[in-house]
């Protein structure tokens, strides 16, 4: 912009000089005309008159050029020039964007796990180029079905084990609860991210199978029964208890369940400490358990059981 202004000032000065020069030429031509008019030479007079006319034309042209420079270009000319400038700027912006698109910048420091393109490949905006992972901050995506996802909340603690590392477990924490799930085997499943503590100390790799238990609640001195002992009846549960009068015909007792870790389930109402329940196993065996009391558990689980024979087993706490 400064360069354009400087050039315009130079052009104005040159135009002013041309006007001055044309004015001097006109004065000289007028003086020559006056001298020719005083003489008797008609040819000299005609030449002097022509010179005056040419000087007047030159002065008028110089003044017109100076006026145009002073007033600036016409509106149409200026608009056309501005449109051309805008066009060039747009082309420059597009070229810069295309250049920037040739560089891949990771949003975080990480390790490239896999590449999908080679030098010279034709890429589009949707082309998958590489897979990048931050191996210093691993997390587990826990698959939670639709019956339990409402009980999962951000900040809940979790216990995580890995099939590849038997006997080792890590503590985790739920960092988010997804709002949308995906259909898997006819059941909607939600992938909840679990942040791990102490993962740097284990030789974990991306894609390893993990087993996650999320603690969605806690109960002290809870009354527990084996989850296998529960039988669902509509929206309620029941357990079978031994019938002293007829051992072959156990009694059904309605119960209200609470928390569960999948193995044991809390009984809120319907049984008392020391009561025995019948567990019916698929292998045609069943066990009678005394009621233990303790615990903190994960998602509620339950289901039907098959019939079988029963035998007593000592109770445990």
Across 45-52, average pLDDT: 80
Residue 205 in any domain: the answer is: yes
Across 125-146, average pLDDT: 85
**End residue of a domain, out of 72, 92, 122:** 72
Residue 118 in any domain: the answer is: no
Burial of 87 (0-12, 13-18, 19+ CB in 10 A): exposed
Residue 57 in any domain: the answer is: yes
221: left (phi over 0), alpha (psi -120 to 50) or beta: left
Domain total of the chain: 3
Residue 239 in any domain: the answer is: yes
- Give, to the nearest 10 degrees, the angle between helix 42-71 and helix 2-38: 160
- Domain enclosing residue 27, as ranges: 2-72
Do 291 and 242 belong to one domain? Answer: yes
Tens-digit pLDDT profile for residues 289-298: 444 433 333 3
Do 233 and 296 belong to one domain? Answer: yes
**End residue of a domain, out of 25, 49, 72:** 72
- pLDDT interval class at 91 (50, 70, 90): very high
Do 198 and 260 belong to one domain? Answer: no
Tens-digit pLDDT profile for residues 60-77: 888 887 777 776 666 677
Task: Identify the pLDDT of residue 72.
Answer: 62
Q: Does the pLDDT at position 134 exceed 50?
A: yes
> What CATH number is given to the structural domain containing 189?
2.40.30.170
Q: Kindly state the percentage of the chain with pLDDT values over 70.
A: 85
> What CATH number is given to the structural domain containing 253?
2.40.420.20
Do 209 and 278 belong to one domain? Answer: no
Tens-digit pLDDT profile for residues 231-255: 988 889 999 998 888 878 888 999 9
Tens-digit pLDDT profile for residues 10-45: 777 887 888 888 888 888 888 887 877 777 777 777
Residue 150 in any domain: the answer is: yes
**End residue of a domain, out of 189, 214, 239:** 214
Residue 155 in any domain: the answer is: yes
Task: Identify the pLDDT of residue 274.
Answer: 86
Across 266-271, average pLDDT: 90
Residue 83 in any domain: the answer is: no
Tens-digit pLDDT profile for residues 202-216: 888 888 889 998 888
Residue 133 in any domain: the answer is: no
> 48 or 180, which is more confident?
180
Rg, Å, the chain Cα set: 47
């Amino acid at each position: 912009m400064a360069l354009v202004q400087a050039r315009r000032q130079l052009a104005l000065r040159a135009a002013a000089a041309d006007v001055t020069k044309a004015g001097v030429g006109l004065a000289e031509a007028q003086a020559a005309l006056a001298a020719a008019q005083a003489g008797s030479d008609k040819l000299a007079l005609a030449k002097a008159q022509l010179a005056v006319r040419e000087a007047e034309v030159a002065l008028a042209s110089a003044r017109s050029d100076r006026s145009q420079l002073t007033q600036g270009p016409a509106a149409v000319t200026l608009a056309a020039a501005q449109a051309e400038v805008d066009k060039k700027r747009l082309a420059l912006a597009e070229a810069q964007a295309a250049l920037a698109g040739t560089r891949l910048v990771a949003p975080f420091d990480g390790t490239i796990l896999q590449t999908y393109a080679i030098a010279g490949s034709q890429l589009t905006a949707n082309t998958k180029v590489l897979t990048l992972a931050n191996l210093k901050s691993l997390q587990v995506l826990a698959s939670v079905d639709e019956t339990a996802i409402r009980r999962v909340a951000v900040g809940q603690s979790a216990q995580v084990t890995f099939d590849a590392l038997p006997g080792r477990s890590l503590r985790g924490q739920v960092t988010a609860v997804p709002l949308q799930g995906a259909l898997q085997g006819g059941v909607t499943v939600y992938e909840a991210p679990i942040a791990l503590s102490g993962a740097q100390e284990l030789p974990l790799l991306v894609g390893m199978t993990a087993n996650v238990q999320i603690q969605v609640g806690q109960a002290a001195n809870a009354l527990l029964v084996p989850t296998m002992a529960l039988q669902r009846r509509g929206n309620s549960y029941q357990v079978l208890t031994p019938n002293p009068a007829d051992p072959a015909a156990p009694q059904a007792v309605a119960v209200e369940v609470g928390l569960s870790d999948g193995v044991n389930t809390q009984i809120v109402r319907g049984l008392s400490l020391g009561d025995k329940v019948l567990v019916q196993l698929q292998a045609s065996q069943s066990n009678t358990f005394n009621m233990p009391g303790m615990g903190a558990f994960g998602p509620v689980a339950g289901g039907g059981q098959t019939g079988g024979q029963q035998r007593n087993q000592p109770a445990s706490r």
